[in-house]
Chain A
């Protein structure tokens, strides 16, 4: 896997007496942590005292949820483990959304939470919450450290578990008396994880069976998920797609794993995916899933998903295999390793008829919008962002229409370029994610393509961006509605827009009040120059695009339908 933690047992050197808090900081440094996010509070005072002069860049969010998303996006942008620390009770509870987001999208995050004194646990003490109980289903692993002698080992295990196998968040709960307890740390620190094994090497026989199936296939499709990005396997994916000549479609989280400018790219599939990707999947005779998990937003009606296909599934998590869709050729292991082996055994096939068919679909059903419209179309904003940044920016998103338009109209060319809450669909993710990504990649252009209501949820973090002089860009596709909800209400609830409209503040003024730059755009003609100004700004910049109010995302697979039963294709065809 990626970012290997140091796994070897080794001595911590000369025995010295240290407090639990000092051991934590020493272990963070041992694990290569140079940046972390977090918010202080009563029971983490000993830890924050040790962090006061530690060589760690520390970013304090305005709310712990924001801090957790920042650590998550920092991890996604850098490939390293993101670290977040909060106090007990409310601090820990505020991590819940962030941890669940990281869990669903397999992001390596280590969360350290303070806890009340050991002898008070269970007494409903001030700021006490059963943190390990609350977070157990939304972490890959969690535990409470009740004895300072276990501290070093537990922290090391946390980083190892978070970053290996299918990554995920790990939470360590630390009672304040354990943080101040002293311990002589001369002994060796060996991990004790008898139940945790990671299989990286793929089964050789399975790999050659998969290669045979690929060589025999007349209509294959590669279906690629975020696992390829996590495994840093984009190069191997490119080699496989080119050598065997395979069309490639990606999930939302898979975008960036394959350069969308290449002819083999079928872009995103699924509910709001490209029609040509969905048709190709439905008609393929071989579906090669890599680091993807057959999520319901991808498969639509599961019984009729890829009905004629033999399925190869390459995944590091054995429990993903045959969970939703029957798999004919499973290969469990690290995508980088397996794709590297697989590429050796595949042969070039022209598959002319298949590629011709795909080319026709691509022509007919490309993502389109009404360019002649006089209003500000959200798709135009995204296209213009892509043009001016030459497909090179890191894009974060909110959730809903803004997220889908970003996925449809920005062209992603390299891994770790799109940072979006896919599995959990967390509104409010975009702004803190942009901050986390900018901290990880100070030189990159980072743009949060957000919705007005997603932005409303976490906009307080703008102050964090200002404080740290992070030149993030926020593009609010402002239609006043919770746009995706409104779209469903329009299509399926007889236009009864129940509670999906809220009044918004003037975002440009809000931005300026917080020390950022704020721009409002309500004319189509002003879009290019506003984006140009935004990109030239050294300060955080918020652009409030007053977009067409009732624009919809097309195509769309209605709930319960097969992915080739898309609505909106007539609209796309009319716009040719």
Chain B
């Protein structure tokens, strides 16, 4: 099962290496790992998607918390959460295919960000399932390359839930 784990870490050199090294040393599987700055320049947030059963993920959480520069760890499993992935995807797009591709891109609320002679670069953002669905939908046209950020997430406040 996939768990999204969010860790607030000190914004110091070596922290990413420490966290990534711990995952490797303890044979935990990382699906994705994203690091970015937060509103506080002294802190960064790591969002880590981990695959494993509850016991493994509990160990991941505890081992993360044990890393000295890791300030706070949250496992979002079972919580209402907004999770997003951003993808840039280059799709083969000869002129005759472009109209139907455009409507597909629209359905996924994607954005064309670059146009080449034979291809389009599209930006798509959303939950992982949507990204995967878009990739699948594009396959028949031919995918030239894909770059994804990995998941970032934040728990929903109950009162603002739609």
Contact = CB atoms under 8 A, between A and B. Distances in A.
Interface of A: 132-133, 136-137, 140-144, 161, 193-196, 317-319, 321-323
A322 B55 contact: yes
Contacts of B14: 132, 136, 142-144
A317 B71 CA distance: 16
A141 B70 CA distance: 11
Contact of B62 (A132, A140, A142, A318): A318
B68 A193 contact: yes
Interface string B44-58: 000000000001001
Contacts of A132: 14
9 contacts: A132-B14, A136-B17, A137-B21, A143-B14, A144-B13, A195-B71, A317-B66, A319-B62, A319-B65
B25 A137 contact: yes
Contacts of A317: 66
Contact of A133 (B17, B22, B58, B68): B17
A136 B69 CA distance: 13
Interface in B24-73: 25, 55, 58-59, 62-63, 65-72
Contacts of A137: 21-22, 25
A333 B55 CA distance: 21
A196 B68 contact: yes
Contact of A322 (B12, B58, B70, B71): B58
A130 B48 CA distance: 26
B82 to A, nearest CB: 25
A254 to B, nearest CB: 22
Contacts of B68: 140-141, 161, 193, 195-196
Nearest to B64: A319
A317 B65 CA distance: 11
A144 B17 CA distance: 14
Nearest to B70: A195
A318 B25 CA distance: 18
B53 to A, nearest CB: 13
Contacts of B62: 318-319, 321
Most chain B Cβ neighbours within 10 Å, of A143, A193, A194, A195:
A195
Interface residues of B, number: 23
Interface in B7-22: 9-10, 12-14, 17-18, 21-22
B59 A195 contact: no
Given A136-B14, A136-B18, A318-B62, A195 B67 contact: yes
Contacts of B71: 194-195
Given A144-B14, A195-B69, A319-B65, 11 more contacts: A137-B22, A144-B13, A193-B68, A194-B10, A195-B9, A195-B71, A195-B72, A196-B68, A319-B66, A321-B62, A323-B59
A318 B73 CA distance: 14
Nearest to A157: B68
Contacts of A136: 14, 17-18, 21
Contacts of B72: 195
A119 to B, nearest CB: 16
Contacts of A322: 55, 58
Contacts of A144: 13-14
A319 B55 CA distance: 11
Residue among B14, B66, B67 with most chain A CB within 10 A: B66
A323 B66 CA distance: 14
B41 to A, nearest CB: 13
Contacts of B18: 136
A145 to B, nearest CB: 12
B59 to A, nearest CB: 6
Nearest to B73: A195
A346 B26 CA distance: 38
A322 B53 CA distance: 14
A142 B22 CA distance: 14
A141 B10 CA distance: 13
A139 to B, nearest CB: 10
Contacts of A319: 59, 62-63, 65-66
Nearest to A132: B14
Contact of A195 (B10, B55, B58): B10
B116 to A, nearest CB: 38
Contacts of A193: 68
A88 B23 CA distance: 27
Contacts of A143: 12, 14
Contacts of A140: 68
A318 B17 contact: no
Which residue, B10, B17, B62, B68, has most C-beta atoms of chain A within 10 A? B68
B19 to A, nearest CB: 10
B65 A318 contact: yes
A132 to B, nearest CB: 6
Nearest to A320: B62
A279 B66 CA distance: 35
Contacts of B69: 195
A133 B10 CA distance: 18
A416 to B, nearest CB: 26
Nearest 9 Cβ contacts at the A-B interface: A319-B62, A195-B71, A141-B68, A194-B71, A137-B25, A195-B70, A195-B69, A196-B68, A318-B62
Contacts of B13: 144
A442 to B, nearest CB: 35
Contacts of A194: 10, 71
Contacts of B22: 137
Contacts of B65: 318-319
A132 B14 CA distance: 8
Nearest to B43: A194
Nearest to A318: B62
Nearest to B22: A137
Contacts of A323: 59
A141 B17 CA distance: 12
A323 B28 CA distance: 13
Nearest to A323: B59
Contacts of B66: 317-319
Nearest to A196: B68
A167 to B, nearest CB: 13
A321 B58 CA distance: 10
A194 B70 CA distance: 8
Contacts of A141: 68
Nearest to A165: B66
Interface string B65-98: 1111111100000000000000000000000000
